[in-house]
Amino acid sequence: MVQLPYRHFLSEILKVRTLIIGDLHHQTWIADAILAHEPHEAVIFLGDYFDAHSDTPAMARETALWVRAQLERPHSTLLLGNHDLAYAFDAQEFPFVMCSGYQAEKAAAIAQVLGAGDWARMHPFATVGPWLVSHAGFHRDLLCNDLVRNQLTLLERCQAAIEALRNRCPDPIFAPGRARGGRALVGGITWCDWKWFEGIEGVHQIVGHTPSKADALRHWSPSWSTNFCIDHCNGHTYAVVTDELTAFRCFKSASEESLELETVQHGPLWRSRERFGAPREGRCPA
């Protein structure tokens, strides 16, 4: 069991058992199996519901139906990944959200199911327990620390970035980094590669986005921050967050069993203005 260096950055006391499920890429049946297998009262999906090797418009439409059903569940939170933004904005018209795997035929199939109101119900990030949860993670050079000191200011910044996309203005929050062929120094919260990830002081993060066939769970944990990537190709890693513990598990679909990977203990959760720790020196990106 790993002891988590505790920082306060919760908007309210956690009272429910929450699952965090990583990138699906059409494998919705695995998510359904985890939800059936693991007792829970809430669930957060890390995004990238669409695109896979040799997928079809029919598969895209089926996944879109699943996504819409999840949006109707009151305790489901769906985050946006880079593969989702490509269809939310239609990468043909907004090339700065283009993503590998995008096809106009799949976009048309998805658009038959998901409209603007559905995409608007998805989120750039979520907070649960001691964790800031996003698709690819907030790199320490993406935002200066004072912008993530509470959930409201962080949400306002991300909403401004979404509005910039609507106005055809790329924003660093959703920009690909150089590692993925982009111009940004570091990737935004839908593009940050785990190989180049550096977390923010006092902010503990759970992300997906960067798959690994070898490692079911990866972590980057200096003394001031604990961060995990749960995108695993050969299984499906997920997290179970309660008021004192976070357990990371890998679901084996063949046996429908979960393998315990690691458990993190965090302190009692309570409200605080200093939820994201002390400010880090540095200039805020524009």
Q: Taking a C-beta distance cutoff of 8 angstroms, is the pair 210, 194 a contact?
A: yes
Q: What is the mean pLDDT of residues 43-58?
A: 96
With a cut of 80, say whether residue 249 has pLDDT above it: yes
Asked if residue 283 belongs to a domain, the reply is no
Distance CA 84, CA 121 (A): 13
DSSP for 154-167 reads HHHHHHHHHHHHHT
Query: What is the per-residue pLDDT for 2?
Result: 43
The pLDDT tens digits of the residues spanning 5-43 come to 333 333 344 568 999 999 999 999 999 999 999 999 999
Asked if residue 203 belongs to a domain, the reply is yes
Asked if residue 239 belongs to a domain, the reply is yes
Asked if residue 17 belongs to a domain, the reply is yes
Question: Residue 85's closest CA among 172, 191, 210, 182?
Answer: 191
Asked if residue 286 belongs to a domain, the reply is no
Indicate the average pLDDT of the chain. 85
Asked if residue 124 belongs to a domain, the reply is yes
Angle, vertex CA 143, rays to CA 193 and CA 100, nearest 5: 30
Query: What is the per-residue pLDDT for 107?
Result: 97
Strand order of the sheet with strand 18-21? 2-3, 257-265, 245-252, 236-241, 18-21, 42-45, 76-78
Counted domains in the chain: 1
Confidence of residue 278 (pLDDT cuts 50, 70, 90): very low
CATH, residue 204: 3.60.21.10
Asked if residue 237 belongs to a domain, the reply is yes
The pLDDT tens digits of the residues spanning 52-69 come to 989 999 999 999 999 999
What is the residue range of 75's domain? 2-265
Query: What is the per-residue pLDDT for 7?
Result: 36
**87: part of which helix (H) or strand (E)?**
helix 82-88
- Collapsing DSSP to helix, strand or coil, 110 comes out as helix
Asked if residue 135 belongs to a domain, the reply is yes
